[in-house]
Amino acid sequence: MKTLECRIDDDADIEVTVNRLVIAGWAGRDARDVEHHIRELEALGVKRPASVPTFYLVSPALLTTEDAIDVVGVHSSGEVEVVLIQTAADGLLVGIGSDHTDRRVESYDVAVSKQMCAKPLSTVLWRYADVAPHWDSLIARSWRIDDDADPALYQEGTLARLLHPEDLIERSFGAVAMPPGSAMFCGTQAVLGELSAGSGYELELHDPVLGRSLRHRYAVDSLAHVE
């Protein structure tokens, strides 16, 4: 279980408790986009999934709203993803997060790789009901941050590229709604260029209809190896 201090619409402070965390993989709506992402990971030695989408159950303790995470080595990278959180008091909420993943471990066991890194999440959340009518127009972006360089656009795409969240909920939970205390990362956008590690990542979920954005930025600190 993980309890986080968050805000709804940058206004109402709430405590969000998550006791079940799911990562949706290979969640593209277009088979060509899914194939593109599969090939990105195949280049790193990751085996093709047996079926798509795939759902990975990971520890809720990995969720964090902190502005830095610790990783082992230099082989991890971020993935911008919309995050759905079902609460008892405030209904279904939407955040922006990163399925930060150890790529070396992913090359031999995807499920284990999902457990290796913290999962950053924005402090500010939106109500799903406010964005559901124009869901496909929302834009998810990430920037890779390197030392002494301007952030470089790393991922960008509308949520129309990904399976609709209600479809993912039905496939993962077998119901029209997630149980309270559940959270799900809903799939990522294709990388612009090559998968690569950075010293940090900046995430954005932009709503062009309501003219607002969710943002989160985090640093990646590599733990030193001690002989």
pLDDT digits (tens, 9 = 90+) for 190-200: 899 888 899 99
Strand order in the sheet with 212-223: 68-72, 212-223, 200-207, 139-145, 152-158
Task: Give the pLDDT mean for 163-177.
Answer: 96
Question: Any idea what the CATH number is for the domain that residue 75 is in?
Answer: 3.90.850.10
pLDDT value for 225: 56
pLDDT value for 49: 83
Cα gap 170→153, rounded to integer Å: 32
Q: Pseudo-torsion of CA 161, 162, 164, 168, nearest 10°? A: 170
- Token pair 């093709």 is at which residue? 48
Q: Which domain holds residue 127?
A: 2-223
**What is residue 138's three-state secondary structure?**
coil
pLDDT digits (tens, 9 = 90+) for 9-41: 978 899 999 999 999 998 999 888 788 778 877
- Kindly report the number of other CB atoms within 10 A of residue 168's CB atom: 23
Q: Does the pLDDT at position 44 exceed 80?
A: no
Task: Give the pLDDT mean for 100-112.
Answer: 91
- Mean pLDDT, rounded, of the chain: 93
Report the domain count for the chain: 1
pLDDT value for 194: 86
pLDDT value for 136: 98
